[in-house]
């Protein structure tokens, strides 16, 4: 899961995983939500997703919560630190887009 923690730049997959976890969700739900949010562009496999979830748990950007529906399924939820990382990424992307529009005049024609 390559990403720069110095600058706060997140991969697209990590960004969508964090967005998904503003609501508690289990692994399969996260995969489906990420695919839907990205209009099918980001299609996470189980190995990629669970590797990312383990890293996000270690960084304390997400936490595991008990699922009320099925105790065998682990659900995850974004933490305050994770929300801060999402806000930082939105700011970074906003600056990127603003600079791109300023330089190109808003279009590449």
pLDDT (tens digit per residue) in 48-83 = 999 999 999 999 999 999 866 666 779 999 999 999
62-66 and 25-26: which strand pairing?
A: unpaired
Distance CA 78, CA 63 (A): 6
pTM of the predicted protein model? 0.85
Euclidean distance between CA atoms 16 and 58, whole angstroms: 18
Domain ranges of the chain: 10-104
Q: Tell me the average pLDDT across 103-107.
A: 84
What's the CATH fold of domain 10-104? Arc Repressor Mutant, subunit A (1.10.10)
Query: Quick one: pLDDT at residue 8?
Result: 67
């Amino acid at each position: 899961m390559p990403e720069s923690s110095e600058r706060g730049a997140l991969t697209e997959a990590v960004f969508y995983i964090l967005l998904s976890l503003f609501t508690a969700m289990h692994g399969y739900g996260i995969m489906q939500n990420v695919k839907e949010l990205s209009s099918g562009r980001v299609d996470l496999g189980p190995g990629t997703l669970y590797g990312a979830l383990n890293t996000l748990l270690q960084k304390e950007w997400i936490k595991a919560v008990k699922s009320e529906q099925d105790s065998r399924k682990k659900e995850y939820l974004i933490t305050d630190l994770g929300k801060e990382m999402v806000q930082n990424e939105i700011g970074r992307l906003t600056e990127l887009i603003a600079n791109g529009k300023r330089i190109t005049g808003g279009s590449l024609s």
